[in-house]
Amino acid sequence: NAGVTQTPKFQVLKTGQSMTLQCAQDMNHEYMSWYRQDPGMGLRLIHYSVGAGITDQGEVPNGYNVSRSTTEDFPLRLLSAAPSQTSVYFCASRRQGRTEAFFGQGTRLTVV
């Protein structure tokens, strides 16, 4: 049972480069979300989706785009990476109407 799978685990980008962080879940969860975790800041919500075709902004959406074409996948796109986006990114999923979140192992992103 894979749960929530994130790729890559580590990534180094140069300022201005673009990339996509991948997230897939095999639990048929309707709700998926992306967080960033920074020292002293806790987990901050970037974007979330309540189902295929539906996305919405979280607390810190600037510089990030998302789409949800299938129930399983929820990629996070950085269009033009900035050093301020250096962070650990977590994807999470949960069933509609439930509060228990299942997290991926994270992607550690460094922007130089």
- According to CB under 8 A, which residues from 74 to 103 bind another protein? 90, 92, 96-103
| 2 part of the interface to another protein, by CB under 8 A | no
- According to CB under 8 A, which residues from 16 to 35 bind another protein? 31, 35
| 62 part of the interface to another protein, by CB under 8 A | no
CB–CB of 101/93 below 8 Å?
yes
| Total residues in contact with another protein, by rule CB under 8 A | 22
Considering the complex, state which of residue 18 and residue 105 has its C-beta at the smaller distance from another protein: 105
| 13 part of the interface to another protein, by CB under 8 A | no
CB–CB of 34/20 below 8 Å?
no
Q: In this structure, what are the phi and psi dihedrals at residue 85, rounded to the nearest 5 degrees?
A: -90, 5
Considering the complex, state which of residue 41 and residue 79 has its C-beta at the smaller distance from another protein: 41
* Chain positions contacting another protein, by CB under 8 A: 4, 31, 35, 40-43, 45, 50, 90, 92, 96-106
